[in-house]
Amino acid sequence: MANIVIIGTQWGDEGKGKMVDLLAENADAVVRFQGGNNAGHTMVVGGRQFISHLVPSGILQGKTCFIGNGVVVDPAVLIEEIEYLQNNAVACGPDRLMISERAHVIMPYHKMIDNGREALKGDSKIGTTGRGIGPAYEDKANRSGIRFADLMDEDFFRSKLEALLPEKNFYLKGFLKVPPADLDTIYGQYVEYARRLAPHVTNVSVALDKLIREQKQIMFEGAQGTHLDIDHGTYPFVTSSNTLAANACCGSGIGPKAIDAVIGIVKAYTTRVGGGPFPTELSDATGDFIQEKGAEFGATTGRRRRCGWLDMVLLKNAVRLNGITGLAITKLDVLCGLEEIKICTAYKNGNDLLHNFPAGIETLTGCKPVYETMPGWEEDISAITDFERLPPNAAAYLKRIEELTGVPVQIVSVGPRREQTIVLENPFRTG
């Protein structure tokens, strides 16, 4: 029996969706524990592409899926996803998908505030997706959020709306200069959402505790990446929740003793969407090559991803913060055809050589990467499923990642499909 956490080690978009879908075969349940529909997990199954924003990726494997209390949920998006999956013959009923009664609900005014703020900031905006995730977490911390438990009680829900909207509308009209939110419209919409989702709403903590006591295997699925964490990321260019492995416990209602392994998902290079410092970013033909070959566009926003070499300062920081026990390398195939490949092993900041990820945003912005160079390979690796058949230079690149992180590579992805994977060690079987 093993319970594992899947974590992105960079700035998100590492390929967690494929890894969760792949490993879900060995799991009894899959839990999403933080974030909102600002994340997009892309899976290719049987030649068909599925993009999940809220429903855990394990749904495609027929697993019991949970949305934990640490997630902020847009009910309209969730209903749309459920209907999409059901229309594509993927079972997604209340026995298959459960929502924590303690999860907070994204309201229309959250999205209005999110977009209004970004419009005011102009060139200094942080690159939010505009989905209302940040304002929803603000209300949660401010003790003025609306949870699914609140939404299920129609009279209580209306009383909360009546108490909250005057302040929200004062801010919307007076500061952001946008039209106010209408109480009756919101109430009518959200009562319908509540009735539709009520069969899915339950005490997820109790349900997971039961599975743990029955020695079932559970996979905890994170969204975004380590360096978008609200505490440990490149603040303020971060998301609004804790993306680290430790939040798998807080965000789903289980104790830390239940976690047996943490798998860090690492793209074979580095990407970032939106604003924020990016020491290894490539603004040249190599960056364009990686971006085009890797089809690097955000699954949620469609925005072009910035691309750069693998950053070991970033990765080693993620290993320490998450207690990572194994690595899954994705998109190794994208590097095929490059004459040489670089790995950033340190940062140079003025006269200082930095081996640890700095907290200061100005310091990080001024950092220059220190590289070591490895030979590339020309061979197509997209059909290889045995590590021993990899080109020597590709194998050497993976071995170097192991050496620099001190963590074993357990899985290597060489393409978007499930079968385009090299499994050296299954974390469930060894957990």
d(CA 47, CA 416): 10
Give CA–CA dist 128/121, Å, rounded. Answer: 11
Backbone angles phi, psi at 305, to 5 degrees: -85, 140
Class of 104-197 per CATH?
A: mainly alpha
pLDDT tens column, 101-149: 999 999 999 999 999 998 887 766 666 678 999 999 999 999 999 999 9
Name residue 233's amino acid.
Answer: G
- Measured between alpha carbons, how far is 424 from 141 in angstroms, rounded to an integer? 42
pLDDT tens by residue, 22-45: 898 899 999 999 999 976 666 666
Residues labelled catalytic = 13, 41
Question: Nearest to residue 37, comparing CAs of 80, 66, 2?
Answer: 80
* Domains 1-99+203-431 and 104-197 alike in fold: no
Q: State what percent of residues in the chain have pLDDT above 70.
A: 95
Give the mean model confidence (pLDDT) for residues 297-316. Answer: 87
Cβ atoms 109, 146 nearer than 8 A: no
| Separation of alpha carbons 301 and 298, rounded Å | 5
Is CATH 3.90.170.10 what the domain over 1-99+203-431 is classified as, yes or no? Answer: yes
Q: What is the pLDDT of residues 201-260, one digit of tens each?
A: 999 999 999 999 999 999 999 889 999 999 999 999 999 999 999 999 999 999 999 999
Q: How far is 399 from 402, CA to CA, in rounded Å? A: 5
The pTM for the full model equals: 0.91
The ranges assigned to domains in the chain are: 1-99+203-431, 104-197
